[in-house]
Structure 1
Amino acid sequence: MSNINIETNVPEIEWSENGITLPEEDKILDGVIQDFQNAFENKLKFYNKEGEFLLSTPQGQLVTSISAIISDRNRLLAYYVNQVDPSYAMGRMQDGIGRIYFIERKPATYTEVVGLCRGGGANVVIPQGTPVKDKAGNVYAAKQDYTIGDVGTVEATFVCNKPGAIECPANSIDMYQRIAGWDSVENPKAGVVGRNVESQAQFEQRRRQSVAGNSVNSVDSIMADLLKLTDANGSPICQDAYVTENSLGEAIINGNVTLKPHSIFVCVAALDSFDNQQAIAKSIWRKKPPGCAMNGDVTVEISDDTKDDDGQPLYSTPPTYQMTYQYAVDVSIYFNIVMTRSQDQPKNAEALIKDAVYNAFIGEDGSIRPRIGSKILSSDFLRSVLALGNWARVTSIQIARGGNFDNKVSMGINEMPSLTKDHIKVTFNG
């Protein structure tokens, strides 16, 4: 059987240094029509005398369906071509790129809060799973067994029973189940807010930060390793981290922090527990340059647990080291949003605006989340409010950290910004 050279008038996909270029849909339709005319000796009619396309004819239906199939095929191909670019990859393809850097997408996490439990006697056990409840009705369970000591108190970590960004403001939890000898519980500090499954934008941002994770002796490698830490349940230990250094032979001031000569400064946003302290300290020890000074108000002793190729400890008596770092100070952020009233705005407009700003702040809508040491611009949240619809007419958005409202606020290198919806004020004028 001889080879038959089959040609088509449908334009092809173009490949160039700039990537893939798809033919326009009207050009594809013209090409399919010409192929039909060639097959049927130009006996088919596709247009009337006025030049209008005869879609209702059998041949009109066929060529438009075939053109749509070709266009969909082209778009699908272009989509997967772009998936090899980390800036555009998402879903399963982005997960594959992440594994090249030995990182996995962060699953949804649960809000955790430290409660100060008081009792009328010593040795009162608060069993694992014991529930407490916040003012919004969310239930939290004790992470493990806790025993009220001789001083009559114990700090217990409670985990929300629902994943996601659930706020737990300071002084908001109370007892939900009575235990003999346990009198009260309170949380002097706000809980560490959980998060939904890591979004495409958040995952890509972390991938960029983790590139230095396999290196040592640099501030980037320390931060990358800290951000990769997970606890026994696979949840991230550090919500954020900031690492800098002073290479000079004299002390310097960086914002509101004084750095010792020849030292590194490590600040983390994380729950303070023994397990977390050990994980954070060992991460710093693995990645920091030897012999440098450290800054901070938390010092943790760790042991060298390095093992040889057979899995045996290198030392019969492991050396110990003192690692110093600092927990980030939680700084409440406030918003003052002024809107122009619109006739078609929904009844729950205020709640929708608060949700939009809050979701942008915590990065749930794909925005870059404000971090330790960052500068936060009020204009960063304009897009999220405008995306609510044409009714969302913004007069101004201002931001503050407890003082006067302005167009921006700055975080120190030891400060982590936080936001609750109660701190978002929305006013409608007109």
Structure 2
Amino acid sequence: MSSITYHTNVPTLTWTDDGITLPEPDAILNGFIQDVQNAFPDAVLYDSNGKFLLSTPWGQLITSWAAVVLDKNNQIAFYANQVDPSYAMGRMQDGIGRIYFIERRPATYTEVVGVCRGGISVLIPKGTYVADSANNKYRAKQDYTIGDDGTVNVTFICETKGAIECPANSLSMYEIITGWDSVSNPKAGVVGRNLESQQQFEQRRRQSVAGNSVNSVDSIMSALLTLTDANGNPVCQDVYVTENNLSEGITNGSVFLKPHSIYICVAALDSQENEQFIAKTIWNKKPPGCAMTGDKVVTIEDDSGLYSTAPTYKITYSYAVSVPIFFQIVMARSQDQPKNAADQIKNAVYNAFTGEDGSIRPRIGSRILASDFFRPVLAIGNWARVISIQIARDGMYSNSISMGIDEIPTLTKDNITVIFNG
């Protein structure tokens, strides 16, 4: 029995050291045309002018076959690229993350510390509601008891996930408890976020590669960025770590680093629960015996169980100062722009700044370029014609601003000004 060799003129995928190469769509189509002509010499595929007869039954079949092959080639190429961390997304990106022992961060809730005042020993139960000026509701994280000074710091968690702003001095009582007189929040809340995007996850994966090491600034930063509380929620919104390895003090912006010291700045809720998580993480990763610079001092115990009387240590770090950022956006007026054009522009800039659209949000110590926000505004629609975008932190608008190593930028939609010219 003789063997039969089958042959097709349709080009195949090519695998090289540079990756996968796909044949061009025209080459796939022409390959099918040649196959049909070889199998059915009498098939009429072209008109008298040499134009391919797409509307004929053969034309429809050939173009459908070519479309199927092209689609499958694209799917294979897409899947092959999912092993590259720079392109992976979804389930494949989650798998790469697990190699580094990190999970995608879920959507989180805004948290804020409220100073509750009232009678001594009055209980504020877990789940007690307060509200902010925008009528967003927050629940007490656990049971709290008002102390001898008539106050207690209560961590309240927003009941809605996502980037819910809670400005300073915006909380008020929502329900009545006998002996509880008032609540206020001297500091703004730590804003929650949506499910971690592909870009945000990849940035954190790159930062986490030092997570298994110790005695370096990278290992401290990585450990704090992946730190979660007892409920699995991220503790630190952002982290900045640097060191001074000289025998004399140095100044970095407004921060003075003592000789041979490390400086750690975290963007996190300043609560008693969080400070122990943060301090113990730093202690587990920092070099022994080094000095520490900062304005927050937390005492921790060595809970390793190696000592009959556990030694205590003082860990020093700083909380990032929130710096309000302002935008001034000048647009060319368009005849077909919608009535809510200004609101759409504000939403686009705000979502890009906070990372809600998948962008990488500005961080502690970062330089922020106004030009980075052209893309989200232009993506709104053809009517969005940008004349200029400028950014400021102190009333002086420019093309860029810089944050100190003890500062984290914050933005509210009220701080975005949209001007239409023409």
Q: Using structure 2 for the length normalisation, give the TM-score.
A: 0.97
C-alpha displacement at 1:211, in angstroms? 0.7
Identify the residue that residue 364 of structure 1 maps to in structure 2. Answer: 356
Q: 2:127 aligns with which of 123, 126, 129?
A: 129
CA distance in 2, matches of 1:370, 1:63: 51
Identify the residue that residue 44 of structure 2 maps to in structure 1. Answer: 45
AA at the equivalent of 1:280: I
Q: Deviations over 1:311-367 (max 9, x none)?
A: xx2222222211111111111111111111111111111111111111111112222
CA distance in 2, matches of 1:349, 1:357: 13
C-alpha displacement at 1:2, in angstroms? 4.5
For the aligned residues, what is the CA RMSD?
1.2
C-alpha displacement at 1:223, in angstroms? 0.3
Identify the residue that residue 155 of structure 2 maps to in structure 1. Answer: 157
Are 1:268 and 2:269 an aligned pair?
Answer: no
Q: 1:378 aligns with which of 367, 370, 373?
A: 370
Q: Which consecutive unaligned segments of at least 5 residues does structure 1 have?
A: 307-312
Identify the residue that residue 277 of structure 2 maps to in structure 1. Answer: 279
C-alpha displacement at 1:91, in angstroms? 0.4
Q: 1:318 aligns with which of 310, 328, 348?
A: 310
AA at the equivalent of 1:56: S
SS at match of 1:46: coil
Q: 2:324 aligns with which of 332, 346, 354?
A: 332
The answer on whether the counterparts of 2:130 and 2:137 sit within 8 Å (CA) in structure 1 is yes
CA distance in 2, matches of 1:123, 1:286: 36
Identify the residue that residue 101 of structure 1 maps to in structure 2. Answer: 100
C-alpha displacement at 1:174, in angstroms? 1.5
1:75-224 correspondence runs (5 A): 75-119=74-118, 121-224=119-222
C-alpha displacement at 1:45, in angstroms? 1.1
SS at match of 2:314: strand
Identify the residue that residue 55 of structure 1 maps to in structure 2. Answer: 54
CA distance in 2, matches of 1:145, 1:284: 28
Q: Which consecutive unaligned segments of at least 5 residues does structure 2 have?
A: none
Are 1:345 and 2:337 an aligned pair?
Answer: yes
Identify the residue that residue 66 of structure 1 maps to in structure 2. Answer: 65
Are 1:230 and 2:228 an aligned pair?
Answer: yes
CA distance in 2, matches of 1:265, 1:159: 29
Q: Deviations over 1:294-315 (max 9, x none)?
A: 0011111112222xxxxxx222
Identify the residue that residue 411 of structure 1 maps to in structure 2. Answer: 403
C-alpha displacement at 1:253, in angstroms? 0.6
AA at the equivalent of 2:243: E
Q: How many residues align?
A: 422
CA distance in 2, matches of 1:134, 1:29: 62
AA at the equivalent of 1:67: A
SS at match of 1:346: coil
AA at the equivalent of 2:12: E
Identify the residue that residue 35 of structure 1 maps to in structure 2. Answer: 35
AA at the equivalent of 1:187: N
The answer on whether the counterparts of 2:221 and 2:241 sit within 8 Å (CA) in structure 1 is yes
Q: Percent identity?
A: 71
Q: 1:251 aligns with which of 222, 242, 249?
A: 249
AA at the equivalent of 1:398: Q
Q: Deviations over 1:212-265 (max 9, x none)?
A: 111111101110001010011111000000000000000111111110001100
Q: Using structure 1 for the length normalisation, give the TM-score.
A: 0.96
AA at the equivalent of 1:302: I
CA distance in 2, matches of 1:369, 1:268: 15
Q: Deviations over 1:390-423 (max 9, x none)?
A: 2111111111112311111111111111111111
The answer on whether the counterparts of 2:109 and 2:191 sit within 8 Å (CA) in structure 1 is yes
SS at match of 2:236: coil
C-alpha displacement at 1:12, in angstroms? 1.2
The answer on whether the counterparts of 2:113 and 2:271 sit within 8 Å (CA) in structure 1 is no
CA distance in 2, matches of 1:382, 1:44: 54
